[in-house]
Chain A
Amino acid sequence: MARPVYVTGIGMTPFRKKYDITLSELAQEAVVRALRDAGFDRNRVEAVYSGSAWGGPLLGQRILRDLGMTGVPLVNIENACSSGSTALHQGWAAVAQGMYDAVLVIGSEKLSRFGSGALPLEDDDHEVRLGQVMPAVYAMRAQRYFHEYGGTPADLAQVAVKNRRHAGLNENAQFRDPITVEEVLASRPVADPLTLLMCCPKADGAAALLITSERYRNGRSVEVRTSRLTSGVFEDGIVDTTIDEITVRCAKETYESAGIGPEDVDVAEVHDAFASAEVFYYEALGFCKQGEGLNLVRSGATAIGGRIPVNPSGGLLSKGHPLGATGVAQIVEIVEQLRGEAGARQVEGAKVGLTHCTGGGIAGMDHGACTMHVLVR
């Protein structure tokens, strides 16, 4: 039987287009903030899990060397956009199974190194060699969704507008000025029907968590009720791509192991890499029925003040998406919400929060990885 696990300290850097310090320096800022937030002695950290997609060899050691936190078990983890949330899953599992009482989880990334355009994908993928890019994967799902259920690009634009409104309340977000549906539609095309403002911007950023057992729990700790990690299923046959299979499967496992249903979730941070993706995840996570995702965003239910606020932080769309940092920063947001420390973007009375982070895409899989966490106060 697993023991209860808590997020006892949180820290993150603002997500920005470019930081002029190194990736390890950036991550150090998040680590120190997380330890200070918990008032925790660094010498009591028993193990470290560091997630990054493009951080390079021994990133965790590079981060911790100059913080005087060396000589502990340390694991470096790559799982594309799920790298940070996978690090959390590993840290959670170690504490839940009784190996450690206090571990540090770090997610960090500097995407400014890639300049503009879509992120480079691996050319050993046969679809990539023929011109596949991530925005096109999501664009084709959106196009098919319109065909099956109706809807227009203006509906997708509402997701971007909502998340930008939320970001205006979050000083850690990269883009905070309000935008309109018209501006989203008029922004330059990326992969039809997706325009630039329907696609998450690259970012530099870092986030860190102190994960503890009951032993180091304090009055501001938030329980991690469950942590789930799964990988993509290979499918080259005729399937319905408007259903995000990996999220549906991970959500089922998550709700079952947490003993809750979608109706119990008060606030959620989901992987809105593209505006259309957030709509698919409403359906896959059970916040509405299949085919009703656009109605949900039109109704305002997923805005702060609505029935099920989604991405109160501004999401990937406005906060930016430093891959390895994203899943850890989602937890930072939910912990602030459940502590009641989210300020102007506070979801009133939030007691159950959910995070959802998918990872990458390769031919034959809808995503490479999917992680979900349920946090409760």
Chain B
Amino acid sequence: MKKLNADFWKQLSENEAVLLMSECASCGKRNFPPLRFCPNCHAENPEKKEMSRLGTLYSFSRVHVPHKLYSAPYIVGYVDFPEGLRVFGQIRANFEDLRIGMKVATSVCSFGEGEEAVLAYCFVPAQKE
């Protein structure tokens, strides 16, 4: 199945994934998604490193006017990681269960059906992993 943003993450198991950041060997600057040049010192191809799998939900919304790849409603959010990076993604959960500040885990979700289906990283409430 086609992977969205395939260079940004690795699948670990059926439901587990880990995000990849770039970390510059020269100046230590970290970025998600990983960049081709360090934005701080322009060193080329900074090293890719795995991020923590658990993050904190910064904010979220349920979308009713979908992007063309997806069908509404779906939930999106920003997740803050201990590496000091904030990552956008879709969240698989009951909307009513979500709270700002809760722990979420990096997971794998499929979107769409048949030949159109794609895989991407997503976030799920940590206790339900």
> Inside 8 A of A127's CB, which chain B residues have their CB?
88
Q: Is B23 an interface residue (CB 8 A)?
A: no
Chain B residues bordering chain A, tally (CB within 8 A):
35
> Inside 8 A of A189's CB, which chain B residues have their CB?
62, 64
Q: Contacts A143-B60, A191-B65, A237-B85: A136 and B8 contacting too (C-beta < 8 A)?
A: no
Q: Is A238 an interface residue (CB 8 A)?
A: yes
Q: Are B89 and A130 neighbours in the complex by a CB distance under 8 Å?
A: yes
| Chain A stretch 80-94: residues in CB contact (< 8 A) with chain B | none
Residue from B5, B8, B63, B90 in contact with A135 in the complex, judged by beta carbons closer than 8 Å: B63
Question: A132-B67, A140-B59, A234-B39 given. 14 additional CB < 8 A pairs?
Answer: A120-B68, A130-B88, A131-B66, A131-B74, A131-B76, A136-B61, A140-B61, A189-B64, A190-B65, A193-B61, A236-B86, A237-B86, A238-B58, A238-B80
Q: Are A236 and B31 neighbours in the complex by a CB distance under 8 Å?
A: yes
Distance in angstroms from B72 CB to nearest chain A CB is 10
Q: Contacts A129-B69, A131-B90: A140 and B4 contacting too (C-beta < 8 A)?
A: no
> Inside 8 A of A131's CB, which chain B residues have their CB?
63, 66-67, 69-70, 74, 76, 90
Chain A residues bordering chain B, tally (CB within 8 A):
34
Q: Are A139 and B61 neighbours in the complex by a CB distance under 8 Å?
A: yes
Report the nearest A residue to B65, measured CB to CB. A118
Report the nearest A residue to B67, measured CB to CB. A131
Binding site for B on A (CB under 8 A): 117-118, 120-121, 126-133, 135-136, 139-141, 143-144, 147, 188-194, 234, 236-239, 241, 363
Give the number of A-B contacts (CB < 8 Å). 95
Residue from A126, A133, A144, A147 in contact with B65 in the complex, judged by beta carbons closer than 8 Å: A133
Cα A133 to Cα B74 in complex, Å, equals: 11
Report the nearest A residue to B80, measured CB to CB. A238
| Chain B stretch 6-39: residues in CB contact (< 8 A) with chain A | 8, 31-33, 39
> Inside 8 A of B65's CB, which chain A residues have their CB?
117-118, 133, 135, 190-191
Q: Are B85 and A236 neighbours in the complex by a CB distance under 8 Å?
A: yes
Report the nearest B residue to A117, measured CB to CB. B65
Q: List 13 A-B contacts (CB under 8 A).
A: A117-B65, A128-B67, A129-B69, A130-B89, A130-B120, A132-B76, A132-B88, A136-B63, A139-B61, A143-B100, A191-B64, A236-B31, A236-B86
Cα A194 to Cα B59 in complex, Å, equals: 14
> Inside 8 A of B58's CB, which chain A residues have their CB?
140, 144, 238, 241
Distance in angstroms from B35 CB to nearest chain A CB is 9
Q: Are A191 and B59 neighbours in the complex by a CB distance under 8 Å?
A: no
Cα A147 to Cα B61 in complex, Å, equals: 13
Report the nearest A residue to B68, measured CB to CB. A120
Cα A105 to Cα B49 in complex, Å, equals: 49
Distance in angstroms from B87 CB to nearest chain A CB is 8
Q: Are A363 and B59 neighbours in the complex by a CB distance under 8 Å?
A: no
Q: Contacts A236-B85, A238-B86: A130 and B5 contacting too (C-beta < 8 A)?
A: yes
> Inside 8 A of A121's CB, which chain B residues have their CB?
67
